[in-house]
Structure 1
Amino acid sequence: MDASAASALPAPPPVPIVLVYSQGRKAAGGGHELDTQWELARQIAELKGAQLAGNVDDACIASADRYLVPDDTLTVDEARKLGVASERDLYGGVVPYPFVATKLIAHELPPGARHAPHGWSREFSEQVRGLVLPGYAAFSRDDALDAAASLWPGGRVRIKRPYGIGGAGQALVETGEQLAAELDDIGDAALQAEGVVVERHLENIETLSVGRVTLDGLVASYHGVQRLTVNNHGHHVYGGSDLVVVRGDFDALARLDMADDVREAIARARAFDACVQKYYAGFYASRRNYDVGWGADANGTHYCGVLEQSWRLGGASGAEIGALRVLQADPNAHTVRASTWEIYGAHAEVPAGACLIYHGTDPQAGEITKFYTVDGSSET
């Protein structure tokens, strides 16, 4: 072949690249969260047949075939700057306003609320009122006080900061003095800028996760339970999830045999998801995870409702990716069981066949090991 003929051949298609974008709150702490993000991004690149190209920079953003793995939910403005236009462009989600990505939208404003952020949808709050647990979102000290006063007849209330992860950033209060101290600690400026959740405390709460992930046309949905563990500081924290993952969307998940309470949790999560899409224009997500809780208040009244949503890499993401690997490798596979584990301390045992995500000593968390397992006997 002469040079002129060779030059006439079309250029080979560019190799797709996967980029890590670490600008969220978890990135500030570094350590195991950042290392976990990189390892999961590497596995996503393998699934896509792509190259893990590193951190986002201007040159990579200009690449026509690139995929982002951010550490947090993006806003529409951030997504536009990063060249993200749809759920096919990232493992995570995009929201029109920052508060939409937080625990705040799982609750309405208290009656007579004095403050609300720009873009707050009261119609959304009205539609999801019956899908969530009793509580309010407040953006001022007075609104938080009013919210707690209306909830105290059912017992203690739980104060949640909007960006808390894995049970962090929460406090139980049962008196006005305790509540005032918590609000003082948050500060009026943070209350107005970020808000706070004031929620009825439920005893012996159980949490179910409901989710859906998509990657290059492969769609999987799941339900699962969370486990608690004791961290290196003696606190009970998130210890992992056990998932049942099915090929297909939420409709495929709903066709599985399951207990009535699990079916109810899935229905509530699906309805919540539909309301977000309807009332917050600009939202889309390739990774959707909803925590649904059951519990009883101090009067013995039982509740079931969505606790919060996650449209970013989360504790169950290792199991999600492990299940996607099985479904991609076997087109006939229909249902897969996958689990994530987070074990603190120096004596963690990683079972044979598990996929190690992280092992090391984090400056804040101490020694921690993360891995996932996938049941190889997938159901067809």
Structure 2
Amino acid sequence: MDRLSSPGKSALALLITEELESDHEAHVRRHLAEQLAGVLGLRFTGVRHGRQLDETDIYVIPDATLVTPQPGIRSDQDLYGGVVARPFMASKAISHPLISSDAAAPDGWTERFMELAGDVVLPGYSAFNLDDALRAGAQLLQQGPIRVKVVQARAGRGQQVIHAMPELEKWLAQQDASRVRQDGVVLEVNLTSVRTFSVGQLRIGGMVISYFGCQNLTDANDGTAVYGGSDLWLVRGDYTALLREIPDPVARQLIHQAHRYEQAAEAAFPGFIASRRNCDVAVGRDPSGQQRSGVLEQSWRIGGASSAEVYALLAFVAEPALQRLQASSCEIYGEAPVIPPDVTLLYQGDASATGPITIGVRVTPWQQPVITSN
């Protein structure tokens, strides 16, 4: 297999910032790290722990968006992931403004991002104390049902649809006030008949790959609807190259919205670096019945679609003339699951965090995506 341009590092390592790491995620991350190390011509040196990597000669794959200072990261060619100046910049809290100018806010908070992103996000608010969240919810509920979200939750967990003030008061009473002050909560207009898509980009070893994708839901072992994988359409090149390959008007709108969201982050957040860019973009009906779309959140770290991204990267490197392809990640819960054909298994077992789960990836030839309106 051919290799990408060297990032000027001596080795590659995973950086685990969280205290608890699930065994299935650890297994998949290690496998993907080994694949990236091979294609970058680097030695894989295993796992480091902490929120900062002081070894400046290491290409790093962190499990979360990092916060400066990061001595070894000067550009997007130094990591698979992202770096921001303040913790809140890495969360879904950036997608909405505060309810008022006197509302609580973390150090460094700026409304500049929302001014630049404009209507590419859904109507909503971020709140950093329970009183502000109650005020924001009361205002939004005048338009109809809202969705409330714990900022740090992943895979579709930590969310609830709220129809009336008593429900909101009950939900807020269940939240840890200190965590809300630290991380925030999000309250936004709830969409029905909703579908969630992904728009993203990789910048690795001198190569740029951009994609549009559909997210799939599945039932976890406890019956909760959670993320079940992504089907991605990927091209060699930037978002302009991606738009040349996708004529569907809805898909094109979502790509433009995600790109504008990224541009807002680049302009509003000094020191922002991201080689792995992924936005969740939703399409559905708002409480008035009108179709609406908007970016829900970003992911500047290794995530659920990363296996599809990395295996697509390997295919592009192996075939220099290849310009476009499809790749899918899948997460299937339960014993003895039905596995789609041509899937490469990355993990199968009884994981401590989820119970029985199977994780796989598949690369296939390009077929034009068709996204119909709701």
TM over 0.5: yes
Q: Of 149, 165, 171, which aligns to 1:176? A: 165
Instruction: From the superposition, tell whether residues 69 and 330 of structure 1 become closer, same or farther in structure 2 (CA, over 3 Å).
Output: same
Distance 2:48 2:319 in 1: 32
2:234 corresponds to which of 241, 245, 259 = 245
Which residue of 2 is the match for residue 190 of structure 1?
A: 179
RMSD: 2.1
Note if 1:375 corresponds to 2:364. yes
Cα separation, partners in 2 of 1:19 and 1:38, compared to 1, 3 Å: same
Identity of matched residues, %: 38
Which of 324, 327, 337 does residue 335 from structure 1 map onto?
Answer: 324
Offset at 1:68? 0.7
- The Cα shift of 1:355 comes to 2.3
Distance 1:160 1:232, change over 3 A: same
Counterpart selection for 1:69 from 55, 61, 71: 61
User: Quick check: 1:165 aligned with 2:154?
Assistant: yes
Question: 1:154 offset after TM fit, Å?
Answer: 2.4
Contact 1:15 1:51 in 2 (8 A): no
1:61 shift after superposition: 5.8
Structure 2 unaligned spans of 5+:
1-7, 369-374
Match of 2:216? 227
CA pair 56-254 structure 1, distance change in 2 beyond 3 A: same
Q: Distance in 2 between matches of 1:358 and 1:35?
A: 7
Contact 1:22-1:34 within 8 A present in 2 as well: no
Q: Partner of 1:186: helix, strand, or coil?
A: coil
Q: Report the Cα distance in structure 1 between the residues aligned to 2:207 and 2:319, rounded to whole angstroms.
A: 12
1:296 maps to 2:285 = yes
| Paired residues of 2:200 and 2:212 also in contact (CA < 8 A) | yes
**1:184 offset after TM fit, Å?**
1.7
Q: 1:123 aligns with which of 97, 108, 112?
A: 112
Return the TM-score normalized by structure 1: 0.90
- Answering whether residue 262 of structure 2 is matched by residue 259 of structure 1, we say no
Q: Which runs of 4+ in 1 moved over 6 A?
A: none
**Alignment length, in residue pairs?**
360
What is residue 3 of structure 2 aligned with on the other side?
none
Higher-helix-fraction structure: 1
Partner of 1:17: 11
Question: Given the two structures, how large is their TM-score scaled by the length of structure 2?
Answer: 0.91
Q: How far apart, in 1, do the equivalents of 2:366 and 2:164 lie?
A: 52
- Note the alpha carbon deviations across 1:195-225, whole angstroms, 9 max, x for none: 1101111111111100000111011000010
CA contact (8 A) 1:354 1:373 kept: yes
1:39 pairs with one of 28, 31, 40: 31
Pick from 143, 149, 154 the counterpart of residue 154 of structure 1: 143
SS of aligned partner of 1:19: strand
Alignment partner of 1:50 out of 25, 31, 42: 42
Q: Write the distance in 1 (CA, Å) between the matches of 2:200 and 2:347.
A: 23
CA distance in 1: counterparts of 2:44 and 2:305, whole angstroms: 21
8 Å CA contact 2:125–2:186 kept in 1: the answer is: yes
Structure 1 segments unaligned to the other structure (5+ residues): 1-13
